[in-house]
Structure 1
Amino acid sequence: MPDTPSDIDPAGITTVACIGAGVIGGGWAAHFLARGYRVRAWDPAPDAEAKLRRVVAGAWPALTELGLAEGAAQDNLTVLPTLAEAVDNAEFVQESAPEDLDLKRTLLADIDAATAPDVVIASSTSGFPMSDMATTAANPARLVVGHPFNPPYLIPLVEVVGGEKSERWAVDRASAFYRHVGKSVITMDRELPGFIANRLQEALWREALHMVSEGEATVEQIDTAITDGPGLRWPVHGPCLTFHLAGGEGGMAHMLDHFGPSLEAPWTRLTAPELTTRLRDDMVAGCESEADGRSIAELVAERDRAVIAVQRAVAESRGRTDD
C-alpha cells in the first residue's frame, strides 16, 4: 500500500468511475468528461442512463464556455450494467448515492470489495461522516469524503476529509486529484457534521424558513436580500473578510469591539422551524412565483451563465486569467 500521495501522480489518472447517476453524480460525470477523462458510470435505476446523459448534455454548453480539455467528449461516458464493471480499471471512484446511511454503508463496502486496493474511493455525501459510513468496508483506509457543491461541473469547491480509519495518503491523494481537475479544495483536519460550507449555508437556510413560517418575509424578498445584498460581496471576500472591512481601518478588531453588543440581536433562532405542511406549501408556491414560468432547465441555464460571468469577473479583478 502506498504511504504518500506522491507514489501515484494524479496526472496519471485517466479513468474515473461515477457510482450513482443523479443530479450530483451526473454533475461529477460531466465535470470529469470535460476535463478529458473516461468515465464509467453505474446506477441501479432502470432509467439511470437516459437521465445521466441528459444531465451531461445539459451541462455541456456551460462546460464548453469554460473551455474543454483536450480529448473531452460526451462519448467518453460509458454506462455499465453492474457495479463491478463500472469500477473495473477505474483509477478514482466518486460515489454519489442518495443520503441514506445504511445504503451508503452497503454501497461503499461493495465498491471497496470490487475496486483495486490502491484506488481512492470518495463519497459525495453532504452530511454523513466517513467514520459512520465505512463501518462495513473491509479496507476503510482508502475511503474519504469528497463533498462537492451543486452543480459539481460548475461550482469549484470540494471539501475533503477522512474518517477514523481513513489513512492520510488517501485524503492527500484525493485532495491532489481534485486540485488537478480544477477544483478548489478544503482539506479538513477533522470530521464535522455537515462539513464547513453546508453548516454555513444551512444557518442562512434555517433563518429563511423561520421568516417564511412567521410571515416576516416572502421567498422572493429573501432571495433578493442575498442576490442584491451580501451575496454580491461573497464571491470576492467571504463573510469573515467582509466583516473585517466593516470595521474600517480598525478591521475585525474594531468591528467586534464597536458593534459587539448589536451583533447578538439577530442571534435568536439557531434551531430549525417545524416543517409544517403550510410552510412546505408556502416555500413551493414562493419559488414557483419567483420562477415566473421558467422551467428548471431554463433556470439551470440562467444560473450557469451567470456563475460563469461572476467567476470570470472576479478572476479579472484579481488579475488572473484562468481561461
Structure 2
Amino acid sequence: MQSPHSIAVVGTGVIGASWASYFLAQGYDVVATDPAPNAESRLREQVANNWPALERIGLAPDASKARLHFESDLAKAVKGATFIQENGPERVDIKRDLFAQIDAAAPTDTLIATSSSGILISEVQDAAKHPERILLGHPFNPPHLIPLVEVVGGKLTSPDAIRRALDFYTSIGKKPIHIRREVPGHIANRLQAALWREAFYLVEQGVASVSDIDTAIAHGPGLRWALLGPFMNLHLSGGAGGIAHVLEHLGPPIESWWKDLGELGLSPSLNKLFAQGVDEELQGSSVTDVNVQRDDVLIQLLNLKQNAPLLP
C-alpha cells in the first residue's frame, strides 16, 4: 500500500483530516488511521469538503483523493511511511502510548511529528526506543490552509531530526519556524493568549464591547498583521529610522502600556458575557457561513502573498 512518498496520519479528527487533505494535495500517498467508530467515512467526507479550497490554492500534478488509504491497524499504517504526523488527543498518557507503538512499527529513520498544541515533547518522547526522531510539528488551524508550522525538539531530539523536519515542511509549501526552547503553548498560541487576555480584560472592565474589540483588530492592526509580523510592522512604522527610531521615541510609552495591562481570571459569568457578545456580533449569521467566507478571503490573501516576495 505504501510508496516511497507515503505519509502516515495518525488520528483523523479536525486537525488530522486537514493534514491528510494537505498531504494529498501535495501529491503524497496518505495512509490514515484512527480507532474511533466511523473514522474512515468521516475522514473521506472532510477531505472531500476541503478539496475545493485546495484546488483553488493549487494541487500538485499527481495529487488525488484516490491516494488516501485507511488502515485500522496502527502498526500497519506507519510501516514503511516516509513521514508520520500524529494528531491524537491532548493527553500525555495517550501520547506516550502512541509514540511507543508508532516507534516500534515505523522505519527507524522516519520522523515522527506531533501536532500537539500544548504538550511538551520532552514529556512524551522517552516512551519510544528512538526518541531522537520525535519532535513537534504544530500547525495552525486549519492546516490545509494556514502555512505556519512550529517545529521544536525535546531534550532527546537530534539536531538532524529538526533540520529534516524543517526541510520537509518547507518542501511542501509550509512556513516552518524553529522554536529553540520548549515553552508551554509554543509561540503563536502564546502571542494569541497575550492578546486575548487584554481583550477579555477590556470587555470585563467596560472599556469596550466584544464587537468593538473585534473591530479594532480586524479593521486595524490585524490587517497589517496578516502581511507582516510585529517586529517588521514596527520597523516600517519608524520610517527611515526603522525600529530603532520607534523604540527610542515610543519605547517609554509602550513600557507604560505594558505596566497597565490587566490580569483576569475567567469565570462562568464572564464566559457567558463573552459568548453573548459574540452572538450579538454575529447578528443571526451562522458560524458555518462565517467560516466559509473567512476561508474564501483567506485563500485570496494567500494567493496575493505568494506574489509578494518582499513580505516574509
- TM-score (norm: length of structure 1): 0.89
> What is the letter of the counterpart of residue 160 of structure 2?
W
Q: Deviations over 1:207-240 (max 9, x none)?
A: 1222233333222222211111011112322111
1:253 matched residue in structure 2: 244
> What is the letter of the counterpart of residue 79 of structure 1?
F
Residues 314 and 25 of structure 1: CA distance in aligned 2, closer, same or farther (over 3 Å):
same
2:57 matched residue in structure 1: 66
SS, match of residue 166 in structure 1: coil
1:216 matched residue in structure 2: 207
Structure having greater relative contact order (Cα 8 Å, sep ≥ 6) = 1
The correspondence of residues 188-227 of structure 1 with structure 2, limited to 5 A, is: 188-227=179-218
> What is the letter of the counterpart of residue 303 of structure 1?
R
> What is the letter of the counterpart of residue 182 of structure 1?
G
The correspondence of residues 299-318 of structure 1 with structure 2, limited to 5 A, is: 299-318=290-309
Q: 1:14–1:91: 8 Å Cα contact kept in structure 2?
A: yes
Identity %: 47
> What is the letter of the counterpart of residue 233 of structure 1?
R
Q: What is the root-mean-square deviation of aligned Cα atoms in Å?
A: 2.1
Which portions of structure 1, spanning 4 or more consecutive aligned residues, are displaced by more than 6 angstroms?
none
Give the Å deviation of 1:181. Answer: 0.9
Give the Å deviation of 1:183. Answer: 0.5
SS, match of residue 147 in structure 1: strand
The CA distance in 2 between the partners of 1:318 and 1:166, in whole Å, is 33
1:131 matched residue in structure 2: 122
1:9 matched residue in structure 2: none
Residues 79 and 272 of structure 1: CA distance in aligned 2, closer, same or farther (over 3 Å):
farther
Give the paired residue count. 309
Give the Å deviation of 1:94. Answer: 0.2
Residues 52 and 218 of structure 1: CA distance in aligned 2, closer, same or farther (over 3 Å):
farther
The yes-or-no answer on 1:91 pairing with 2:82 is: yes
Residues 19 and 294 of structure 1: CA distance in aligned 2, closer, same or farther (over 3 Å):
farther
> What is the letter of the counterpart of residue 119 of structure 1?
T
Unmatched tracts of structure 2, length 5 or more:
none
Give the Å deviation of 1:140. Answer: 0.4
The CA distance in 2 between the partners of 1:205 and 1:38, in whole Å, is 39
Give the Å deviation of 1:192. Answer: 2.8
2:177 matched residue in structure 1: 186
The yes-or-no answer on 1:33 pairing with 2:56 is: no
The CA distance in 1 between the partners of 2:64 and 2:289, in whole Å, is 23
Q: 1:212–1:279: 8 Å Cα contact kept in structure 2?
A: no
The yes-or-no answer on 1:166 pairing with 2:152 is: no
SS, match of residue 169 in structure 1: helix
> What is the letter of the counterpart of residue 283 of structure 2?
D
Residues 54 and 208 of structure 1: CA distance in aligned 2, closer, same or farther (over 3 Å):
farther
Q: 1:127–1:193: 8 Å Cα contact kept in structure 2?
A: yes
Give the Å deviation of 1:47. Answer: 3.1
> What is the letter of the counterpart of residue 255 of structure 1?
V
Q: 2:201–2:262: 8 Å Cα contact kept in structure 1?
A: no
The CA distance in 2 between the partners of 1:298 and 1:252, in whole Å, is 40
The CA distance in 1 between the partners of 2:162 and 2:310, in whole Å, is 31
The CA distance in 2 between the partners of 1:96 and 1:129, in whole Å, is 14
